[in-house]
Amino acid sequence: MNRMKILKKMSLTMAILATILAVSPIVMNQVYAQEEAVQQAPQKTEVKKPSATDELAYAVDNMFLFFCAVLVLFMQAGFAMVEAGLNASKNTVNILFKNLMDLCIGVGLYWLIGYGMMYPGDAFKGGWFGFAGFGVSEKLGDVAGGTLHPQFDFLFQVAFAATAATIVSGAVAGRLKFAAYLIYSAVLTGLIYPISGMWKWGGGWLDAMGFYDFAGSLVVHAVGGFAGLAGALVLGPRIGKFNQDGTPNPMPGHNLAFTALGVFILWIGWYGFNPGSQLAFYGSANTSAVGIIAVNTTIAAAMGAFGAMLFNWILYGKPELSMALNGALAGLVGITANCDSVTNGEAFIIGIVAGIIVVLGVILLNKLKIDDPVGAFPVHGLAGIWGGIATGLFGDHPLGAQIVGSLVIPAWAFITMYILFFTMDKIFGIRVSEEEEIKGLDIGEHGEEAYAGFQIIETK
């Protein structure tokens, strides 16, 4: 009986797949037609043969971006480890799965529509929205230093989109339905992130206004952090997080070694995130910029961890690892917007302040009775805003524009995502049942436990 059902489902799927395979060439041709239309104009200049120097500079810059993209993609492993480690073992499969699907859905949708919305081309300069067409060109454009092959550019950008999406999975951990998460993830990477991304990096209105965000303290991290806040608010805290008198209970993560490994991986991945955002290595000005960016990134991360450790030590009388790890990430987020505009010494200060902000942010969330299991909001939301402001304070960019951008982008992410989570909640309910939450989402949502054979005693 059961077997019959499965066989039936199998054949059905196969039939659908066959149909897809049959029609796909047509669809794909359509995609390419549109795409080629868009790319027509610039392709013309391709006629003249590039010089050896152009070819070499082109190779150097694209190779640089390629390896940077790989580093940024590696961050997905870092997020997965950080978030899995900071949550209960009974939700491990769920968290890992959300991280994997972020990337997979992100790649699919950002390829299909997101990239075209985020980089719509000069026609939409200074605007609020644009679209360059489906897919990503596979054609070679101009060959010269500083010019990027669209495929490499896409690879780099899609990793950023996946990063923004994956930040949220930690904030909503332990209680959000898996299917709701997949919908959220699709909307963020396919719509919300590309739109606000276009405002700055696609040449939109924030860019025209003079707002500066080098590698995405706001465009990427604050978007993720505030989307996570929205999710945490709509969901409410996990069972047992807050007592009736409002005091919080610790719900410690099940594997801090995973969390530490994840932070080291993220730190490493950030060497793609920030330096890669220079988008060029050739030319001594670029080379020099990348060098300063890399060192600033390192110093801010180090001081973020150090600052958080020290501040926590002063406040609570002990150095806490999970806080220092959050501090390192906050330092990295804080320097992201301005790593090319500040000195090593200023990076030092930006890092320490970011580390302190994260400790205060955790206190603030506890006060407000908001449950963000991994500290995604303090790390990416608050330190992201700090990054935007610091760009004005230290980095010779107009403070006014920085403040506008540092308010508008978080607000955009928060409001749209609040509406999304709220609407989904009204329609089908986004929170798992109390029983499922208690038993763990691994059993409830996936029927698969992460640690078969290990005896685990969970008391929360």
Partner 1 sequence: MKLITALIQPHKLPDVKKALFDAKVYKMTVTSALGAGAQKGYTETYRGAQEEINLLKKIKIEIAVNDDFVQPTVDAIIKGAKTGNIGDGKIFIQPLEECIRIRTGEKGKAAIG
Decide whether 284 or 455 has the Cβ nearer to partner 1: 455
Query: What residues pair up with 242 in beta bridges, in sequence order?
Result: 248
Decide whether 178 or 422 has the Cβ nearer to a copy of itself: 178
CB 411, min distance to a copy of itself, A = 27
Q: Which does 375 bind (CB under 5 to 8 A by kind): partner 1, a copy of itself, none?
A: partner 1
* Interface with partner 1 (CB under 8 A): 2, 239-240, 247-250, 252, 316, 318, 320, 322-323, 359, 362-363, 366, 375, 438, 443, 447-448, 455-460
Decide whether 232 or 329 has the Cβ nearer to a copy of itself: 329
Query: What residues pair up with 176 in beta bridges, in sequence order?
Result: 431
Give the whole-angstrom CA distance, residue 214 versus residue 121.
19
Decide whether 126 or 319 has the Cβ nearer to a copy of itself: 319
Q: Which does 125 bind (CB under 5 to 8 A by kind): partner 1, a copy of itself, none?
A: none
* CB-based burial label for 382 (10 Å; 0-12, 13-18, 19+): buried
Give the whole-angstrom CA distance, residue 320 versus residue 308.
9
Q: Which does 183 bind (CB under 5 to 8 A by kind): a copy of itself, partner 1, none?
A: none
CB 347, min distance to partner 1, A = 26
Q: Which does 136 bind (CB under 5 to 8 A by kind): partner 1, a copy of itself, none?
A: a copy of itself
CB 348, min distance to partner 1, A = 25
For residue 256, which of 374, 176, 370, 171 has the smallest C-alpha distance? 374
Give the whole-angstrom CA distance, residue 191 versus residue 204.
15
CB 7, min distance to partner 1, A = 13
Quote the Cα angle for 138-140-143, to 5°.
155
Cβ neighbors of 107 (< 8 A, separation 6 or more) are 158, 162
Decide whether 71 or 330 has the Cβ nearer to partner 1: 330
> How would you label 25-44 residue by residue, b for 16+ Cβ within 10 Å and e otherwise?
eeeeeeebebbeebbeeeee
Decide whether 160 or 226 has the Cβ nearer to a copy of itself: 160
**Contact between residue 83 and residue 163 where contact means Cβ atoms under 8 Å apart:** no
Q: Which does 234 bind (CB under 5 to 8 A by kind): partner 1, a copy of itself, none?
A: none
